[in-house]
């Protein structure tokens, strides 16, 4: 970031968020369009229901980011559901597409789901199925990627503007505020990706000597991300930087750039998990990247969903609940719950994390 004092303060405050038990303070989120769901009545000191059938449906299975967000081992969503006395199941397709994800949602509904916790592959394509679930009284909570008009709550990892801004500021520093920049995104329909990219474009106005030349899509697939990254290097031989705001895309692009030909010449940042990026941070293919704790995102989504399904909260602004080890949270604007600010990983801290 351009302001060293601000950057130092950000690092210090965010390190506290990630390492000190990740106790996140209550915050009000900023997000997209309003949901179609109606607020439910709240009873004072409403007990949480036990034995609810909750299905956690990430964009796709086999994705290390969602494995971290969801699993019992990492204390993600399934861990929280177990802690709360619910029946938690992770299910999805193998590809990060609506065609792969929708059958998993439909199956969960047919299996008697009380709660669906979904990372949406598409903000529109899933809506018919999700709205059908809501009409049957099933609580629908999105996490990581939203479907704004067809859910009860959205649990987001950090403010969308904060994520977009910080990635641009990191790459601008590496590029010394000048040169050609490209973005390797996930799916072209992914709500979170497109929202972050929108904020990136706005933040890039602060850097008039950086030109965004191309946005390409790796579809959260390693082979596709590799191919589109190689295509960028061929099409733009003077390319100076790449942002990849996807946990599959960033390691794939880093593997392409991890040679003497590109390392330190084509700069890189984005979003990914520390274990996948450790090698590239330490050899300076990607000196800095950004994320949050995905396990805490899943954990928070589970607590929000159970509180909502139990009638302990509504999706009205100001409703509050306690999410176990993470502390108290409030429902913010547009029926959202915010985990906290993003965090910069670099050589000074990457060895401290095991997810």
Task: Looking at the structure, tell me whether residues 137 and 11 fall in a common domain.
Answer: yes
The whole-number average pLDDT for the span 204-208 is: 98
How many domains does one find in the chain? 2
Task: Looking at the structure, tell me whether residues 105 and 222 fall in a common domain.
Answer: no
**SS3 for 156?**
strand
For CA atoms 251, 256, 260, 266, give the dihedral sign. Answer: negative
Using the predicted structure, report yes or no on whether residue 41 has a pLDDT greater than 80: no
Asked if residue 184 is part of any domain, the answer here is yes
Asked if residue 40 is part of any domain, the answer here is yes
Phi first, then psi, for residue 56 (nearest 5°) are -95, 120
Task: Looking at the structure, tell me whether residues 308 and 239 fall in a common domain.
Answer: no
For CA atoms 220, 224, 230, 233, give the dihedral sign. Answer: negative
Task: Looking at the structure, tell me whether residues 69 and 130 fall in a common domain.
Answer: yes
Using the predicted structure, report yes or no on whether residue 334 has a pLDDT greater than 80: yes
- Of 270, 291, 312, the one marking the end of a domain is 291
Task: Looking at the structure, tell me whether residues 168 and 279 fall in a common domain.
Answer: yes
Task: Looking at the structure, tell me whether residues 44 and 100 fall in a common domain.
Answer: yes
Task: Report the pLDDT value the prediction gives residue 78, as an integer from 0 to 100.
Answer: 98
pLDDT bin (cut points 50, 70, 90) of residue 45 is: low
Q: Mean pLDDT, the chain, as a whole number?
A: 89
Task: Looking at the structure, tell me whether residues 126 and 223 fall in a common domain.
Answer: no
Task: Looking at the structure, tell me whether residues 307 and 245 fall in a common domain.
Answer: no
Task: Looking at the structure, tell me whether residues 43 and 115 fall in a common domain.
Answer: yes
pLDDT bin (cut points 50, 70, 90) of residue 353 is: confident
Using the predicted structure, report yes or no on whether residue 236 has a pLDDT greater than 80: yes
Contact between residue 187 and residue 101 where contact means Cβ atoms under 8 Å apart: no
Asked if residue 334 is part of any domain, the answer here is yes
Using the predicted structure, report yes or no on whether residue 89 has a pLDDT greater than 70: yes
Using the predicted structure, report yes or no on whether residue 29 has a pLDDT greater than 80: no
The whole-number average pLDDT for the span 78-99 is: 97
Asked if residue 147 is part of any domain, the answer here is yes
Contact between residue 108 and residue 57 where contact means Cβ atoms under 8 Å apart: yes
Long-range contacts of 133-137 (CB under 8 A, 24+ apart): 133/105, 133/109, 134/36, 134/37, 136/109
Task: Mean pLDDT check: name the lowest of 25-39, 162-176, 246-260.
Answer: 25-39
Q: How far apart are CA 257 and CA 322, in angstroms?
A: 43
Asked if residue 137 is part of any domain, the answer here is yes
Residues 298-323 have pLDDT tens digits of 999 999 999 999 999 999 999 999 99
Task: Report the pLDDT value the prediction gives residue 77, as an integer from 0 to 100.
Answer: 98
Residues 118-154 have pLDDT tens digits of 999 999 999 999 999 999 999 999 999 999 999 999 9
pLDDT bin (cut points 50, 70, 90) of residue 46 is: confident
**Which residues constitute the domain of residue 197?**
160-291
Task: Looking at the structure, tell me whether residues 65 and 154 fall in a common domain.
Answer: yes
Using the predicted structure, report yes or no on whether residue 159 has a pLDDT greater than 50: yes
Asked if residue 153 is part of any domain, the answer here is yes
Task: Report the pLDDT value the prediction gives residue 24, as an integer from 0 to 100.
Answer: 31
Task: Looking at the structure, tell me whether residues 337 and 235 fall in a common domain.
Answer: no
Task: Report the pLDDT value the prediction gives residue 156, as an integer from 0 to 100.
Answer: 94
Task: Looking at the structure, tell me whether residues 81 and 214 fall in a common domain.
Answer: no
Asked if residue 169 is part of any domain, the answer here is yes
- Of 243, 263, 291, the one marking the end of a domain is 291
CATH number at residue 285: 3.40.50.2300
- Of 291, 308, 330, the one marking the end of a domain is 291
The percentage of the chain sitting over the pLDDT mark of 90, rounded to a whole number, equals: 84
Asked if residue 355 is part of any domain, the answer here is no
């Amino acid at each position: 970031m351009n302001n060293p004092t601000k950057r130092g303060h950000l690092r210090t405050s965010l390190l506290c968020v990630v390492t000190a038990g990740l106790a996140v303070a209550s915050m009000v989120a900023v997000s997209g369009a309003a949901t179609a769901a109606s607020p439910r009545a709240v009873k004072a000191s409403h007990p949480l229901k036990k034995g609810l059938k909750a299905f956690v449906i990430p964009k796709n299975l086999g994705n290390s980011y969602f494995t971290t967000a969801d699993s019992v081992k990492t204390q993600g969503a399934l861990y929280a559901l177990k802690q709360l006395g619910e029946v938690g199941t992770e299910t999805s397709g193998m590809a990060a597409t609506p065609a792969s994800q929708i059958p998993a949602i439909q199956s969960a509904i047919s299996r008697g789901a009380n709660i669906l916790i979904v990372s949406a592959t598409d903000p529109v394509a899933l809506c018919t199925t999700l709205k059908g679930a809501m009409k049957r009284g099933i609580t629908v909570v999105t996490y990581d990627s939203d479907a704004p008009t067809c859910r009860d709550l959205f649990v987001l990892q950090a403010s969308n503007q904060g994520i977009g801004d910080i990635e641009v500021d990191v790459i601008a520093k590496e590029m010394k505020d000048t040169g050609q920049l490209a973005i390797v995104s996930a799916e072209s329909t992914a709500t979170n990706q497109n929202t972050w990219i929108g904020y990136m474009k706005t933040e890039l106005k602060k850097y008039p000597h950086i030109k965004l030349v191309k946005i390409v899509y790796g579809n959260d697939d390693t082979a596709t991300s590799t191919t589109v990254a190689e295509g960028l290097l061929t099409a733009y031989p003077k390319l100076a930087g790449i942002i990849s705001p996807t946990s599959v895309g960033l390691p794939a692009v880093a593997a392409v750039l991890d040679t003497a030909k590109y390392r330190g010449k084509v700069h890189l940042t984005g979003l990914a998990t520390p274990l996948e990026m450790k090698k590239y941070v330490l050899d300076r293919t990607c000196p800095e990247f950004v994320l949050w704790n995905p396990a805490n995102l899943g954990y928070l989504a589970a607590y929000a969903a159970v509180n909502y399904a139990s009638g302990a909260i509504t999706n009205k602004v100001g409703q509050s609940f306690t999410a176990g080890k993470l502390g108290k949270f409030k429902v913010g604007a547009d029926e959202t719950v915010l985990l906290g600010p993003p965090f910069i990983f670099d050589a000074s801290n990457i060895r401290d994390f095991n997810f």
